[in-house]
A and B are shown apart, each in its own frame.
Chain A
Amino acid sequence: MKKLLPFLASLLVLAFSSFIMLRPVADAGYQVGDKAADFKLKNVDGKLVSLADNKAARGYIVVFTCNTCPYAKAYEQRIIDLNTKYAPQGYPVVAINPNDAATVPGDSFAEMQKRAREKKYAFPYLQDETQQVAHQFGATRTPHLYVLTRQGNSFVVSYIGAIDDNSEDAKLVKTKYLENAMTELVAGKPASVSSTKAIGCTIKWKKA
């Protein structure tokens, strides 16, 4: 028993410290350099989409966005344009709507289908119904961008953050944060500015 006690105590300390160490990481989601786990989410066409599906992709521009947030709406055309520009270079857009449709009816699957049809989205618009993917990435708002680059069969997070420095008016943009990063990433270099901040609408999480 005397020998067992220190063992149990150290076990307890170990369990406790690993809890402390692991928790913030899980809360914060992905950092630049992390491998992104693949997912399987329903697209507006009813089919399931995974990162592994597109064998030709050199990477993806993953954007957590929605139908209803004024900032997401302000950036919608710019997201469409990003796909037009970068899909041919091997980095198509994958849009994911993480909002709880029970909280925001405007973000229901039917409304997503309507929006994608009206705006002729040429990229997947996926519903993250369980919100597990948004949690995994550490997305907090819409729009929230992640650029993934392929390394063999896995995808590495290479840029996190904003599209540019003026949400209201694309014509007044001075710094295109995402495009600057893409120029480097497409050339096989790491992004010199790989993390930027942006204002957005908080993701509407399911009520526990």
Chain B
Amino acid sequence: MNRLKFIVLLAGLLLTTAAQAQQVQVIKLPELQKRLARPTDTTYVVNFWATWCGPCVKELPHFDKLTTTYKNQKVKVLLVSMDYASQLDKKVKPFVAKNALKSEVVLLNETDPNTYLTQIDPKWTGSLPFTLLLNNTRRKRVTFEQEFTTEELQKQLQAFMK
């Protein structure tokens, strides 16, 4: 009986973990800035995208693939959705589930791009997709206001990590 309870509990725990992988946290700019400022030797690959942005949707699998490819290295892929927060349940969550994204997805809930774009990166003019490679320990940071092929992305990341 106890064993059954244990199995049920374990199954429940596994299910919750699986469900958690699909969660999309809604965050404000200070929270994002705090995460990007962590003093860690992990290389962050931060991709800003939106479900309505064609080129973003096309390149997103290349980014998500890095989570698997670099599983044993200090690389963290963070996919920042720029969709409206009102579209979280209607568009963003179904998209994340449908594409079975393995990387962490957050939704940046801010309304004034004239303020937040500059605070994320002064060079960002407002086009999507936008990508940021970041390593705080090594004080390295590069940005790309462009679309990537999987080869270009891997090449840039390898060069960045050297």
Contacts and interface: CB of A to CB of B under 8 A. Distances in A.
B56 to A, nearest CB: 9
Contacts of A202: 53, 55, 127-128
A130 interface: no
B111 interface: yes
Nearest to B145: A140
Interface string B117-153: 1100000111110000000000000000000000000
Given A70-B52, A141-B126, A141-B127, A199 B113 contact: yes
Interface residues of B, number: 19
A199 B82 contact: yes
B113 A197 contact: yes
Contacts of B52: 69-70, 201
Interface string A165-177: 1111000101101
Give the interface residue-count category, chain A. Answer: 20 to 34
Interface in A126-165: 140-141, 161-162, 165
B114 A162 contact: yes
B95 to A, nearest CB: 14
A196 interface: yes
B115 interface: yes
A140 B113 contact: no
Contact of A201 (B53, B112, B113): B53
15 contacts: A70-B52, A140-B126, A140-B127, A162-B113, A168-B84, A168-B86, A175-B112, A197-B114, A197-B125, A198-B114, A199-B113, A201-B54, A201-B128, A202-B55, A202-B127
Which 4 A-B pairs give the minimum distances between C-beta atoms? A165-B112, A196-B114, A166-B111, A70-B52
Given A165-B111, A165-B112, A199-B126, 13 more contacts: A69-B52, A70-B52, A140-B125, A165-B113, A166-B111, A167-B113, A174-B112, A197-B114, A197-B117, A197-B124, A197-B125, A198-B113, A200-B126
